[in-house]
Amino acid sequence: MKRILYSLINCLNLGFNLIIKYKIIYLFILFLSFLLTSHTTFKLLTLENKINTIKNNITLKLENYVKIEYSNVENNYHNGALGLANCLKIPLNETELTSKMNEIKNELENLFNESELNFAFKYKDIYTGFSLSYNSNQNIFAASTIKAPEAIYIYKEAENKNIDLNDTLTYTDNFYSDGTGILKDTPPNKAYNIHDLVKYSIVNSDNIAHLILNSKYGSQNIYNYWKNLGTTVIYDNNGPWGNINANDATIIMEELYNYYMDNNYSFNEELINYFINSWKIISNPNKNIKIASKSGWSNTSLHDMALIFDENPYILVILTNRGYVEYQSFFNKVSSLIAEFQNLYWEKKMNRCINI
């Protein structure tokens, strides 16, 4: 280990030109991240192998600016390899944002201010905790996004041996719903295992599967689990539906990320596949990037909350009371702006860290 590190450091002192030096440092930092952090780049590079495959109208926006948030990581650098690894964990502060990054931030603000139909968003860089948000603590009808915390709760309980995913539950007439899903077109009085019910709930946004699962495992239990992780409104009405806000949605998607990245769990690949194969509105300009998300819609709402497996993964939540006709350009615009911001953010971080 020491021999490898000293060899790399000596290479940097041989007077290579700036471009070659930058590339070597970049590879060096990736190597250090593999050795010194739990969320490794190697894990992300194996993602391809691991995955085969509002009702309520919003009439008031209580904030009119994009808010910047930071994690509580101490800005404590050390010399050498540890210093590089520590530097990568430190979020940029507001004074370090480039003019282009501030331009994107302002464009997002204007985009959300230009129409009363736009409600809230939150972006979070997972590794450093840096985030941008707008109306992130304002509640809105969750629609089918409420199915995500339920699914994650069930799989975490299965890992703790409190739920057997091979158990079966029966679809009876009292669970019928004419909303989204595929079970509404099948005859009742049929049993389905928990694996399949969660799959239908996430991939097909099946309302009947959701209602069956919720009846069995209980909104209060799900609410207690997520409240302990910091959510404030999901399942707080002890019913199968309810509200959400962008902060809660971000917590949900980060928990999904942590669950997937933990190799001690048995069913994490199965669950992340459900989210990757679900219908999504949030996108990324790079079509090869995997996105795990759960969208939701009703008569007057359209939401999506996504985990984007970019080279440096991030979360993006967009909550709106837009209809289908208007959604595509708006969601694509926000998605593209955030993808650009994320690339600029890490470019700036790399430039900062190679100079410590």
Phi, psi for residue 50 in degrees, rounded to 5? -80, -20
Query: How far is it, in rounded angstroms, from Cα 250 to Cα 337?
Result: 18
Query: How far is it, in rounded angstroms, from Cα 205 to Cα 347?
Result: 37
The pLDDT assigned to 6 comes to 39
Could you tell me the residue ranges of all domains in the chain?
2-36, 47-75+89-344
Q: Which residue has the higher pLDDT, 116 or 269?
A: 269
Phi, psi for residue 191 in degrees, rounded to 5? -95, 140
CA 15 to chain centre: 42
Please say if the pLDDT value at position 343 is more than 70. yes
The pLDDT assigned to 56 comes to 39
| Ranges 22-31, 85-94, 213-222, 260-269: which has the least confidence | 22-31
Token look-up 């389905």 returns: 192
Tens-digit pLDDT profile for residues 110-142: 988 876 667 899 999 999 999 999 999 999 999
Tens-digit pLDDT profile for residues 255-264: 999 999 999 9
The pLDDT assigned to 5 comes to 38
The pLDDT assigned to 44 comes to 43
Q: What value does the mean pLDDT take over residues 74-87?
A: 66
* pTM, full prediction: 0.81
The pLDDT assigned to 336 comes to 97
pLDDT class for 329, splitting at 50, 70, 90? confident
The pLDDT assigned to 85 comes to 76
Q: Which CATH architecture has domain 47-75+89-344?
A: 3-Layer(aba) Sandwich (3.40)
CA-wise closest residue to 61 among 115, 135, 123, 122: 135
Tens-digit pLDDT profile for residues 146-168: 999 999 999 999 999 999 999 99
Q: What value does the mean pLDDT take over residues 70-75?
A: 62
Tens-digit pLDDT profile for residues 272-295: 999 999 999 999 999 999 999 999
Query: How far is it, in rounded angstroms, from Cα 205 to Cα 278?
Result: 8
Query: How far is it, in rounded angstroms, from Cα 74 to Cα 297?
Result: 40
The pLDDT assigned to 298 comes to 86
The pLDDT assigned to 353 comes to 86
Q: What value does the mean pLDDT take over residues 224-253?
A: 96
Handedness of CA 160, 145, 69, 39 (dihedral sign): positive
